[in-house]
Chain A
Amino acid sequence: MNTSAIFFVALPYTALATLIIGVLYRYITLGFKLTSLSSQFLEGKVLFWGSQPFHWGILVVFLGHVAAFAIPSTVLAWNGEPWRLIILEVTLFAFAIAALFGLVVFIYRRITHSRIRSVTTKMDAVVYILLLIQIVTGLGIALLYNWGSSWFASSVTPYLRSIFVFNPQVDTVASMPFLVQLHIVTAFSIFGILPFTRLIHFMVFPLNYVWRSYQVVVWNWNPKKIRAESSYFPGKASTNN
């Protein structure tokens, strides 16, 4: 087995399997461990300069990658005009810089603030290192190998799609520059360890808040039903938990 098979076939499948099984396992059995682990309560001033740029930066950059993966032809069509290509690249680069800035503030805050140090775990360090590598390589690629939004859509997307259809084609990525390869490997590593880190919090983004009513009342049992004789049926499964 050659190295590209390990890094571009074995690693992605291991990572994705760990991601799916890990997230489901943690969601179902370890509800109490599922939290954003916010430390804003302990320190809120420096956090603002870390959290806002990082989260919004990484969100936009991530969505950019998703777009290139999901609708590559649209992205290529958009990039057909040079000025549109420049706008796209500059915007995403700016957001990536914001994410990097935020991440550096995060790390600075964790190291310097004693309250934050006391709630820092080893896994936080792993997350920070991987994210730092990921963002720095991403920025490096954008600078060194121009117009990534185009060649991602034309070269990387076919590889990623081949992974998802269980017919991995590694030839293109195997011949890509080291920086790009590192970026891909780190990306899959992040997905692989995601269930075991605080990063899992983005999987439980509370979207259903938008359509639920403000007030929540939970009945342990339906008091009308429970007292009605007709509803008595031996052996039925309980519906209240």
Chain B
Amino acid sequence: TSFSAVVLIGESGVGKTNLLSRFTRNEFNHDSRTTIGVEFSTRTLTLDGQLVKAQIWDTAGLERYRAITSAGAVGALLVYDITKHQSYDSIERWLKELYDHADASIIVMLVGNKSDLANETREVPFEEAKMYADSNGLLFIETSALDSTNVELAFETILRDIHRRVLKNKGEIPKDNTVVLSNQPNTGQSEGQTAEDKKSCCRNV
């Protein structure tokens, strides 16, 4: 089994917690509580014939929590609400925050959630977000935690991406990379290291 750590970030109320619960427990809660601090869930799935244990961190969406959320992850789902343009407007800030605190080689997927409301109250056009993602080197998908659309696919895609990178780097000595979310800079990984080195974040056990 190999481990992959993914963090869910984005404005509060975009549906991060429900994306997580849909993926790990196949549950959706209309009155899910605001996340305070960080929460955490795991799911084991098979990717390319190998068992992968995905470790997913769900974070509070309010700006002031950002400092304690993103460091150490190898993948991030940056979630916005397709019915709230304001939540899309803030993704730039989230990206900056992410690159400031997390590993530079982190894989980011832009996720437009609440696609079940697309016909009624969509505010962010699919094409606009897709273009933004392409030009910034992000993966992109629209999901609905409510009706399960694409949730599985979103997580599988990013986890497979992470997993493939690991396989590619398999020749290297695996480093201990237990994920600790804190705002401490990643002192362990200095600039001098190669990109490959930085990517060795999933450890085979």
Interaction A to B: no
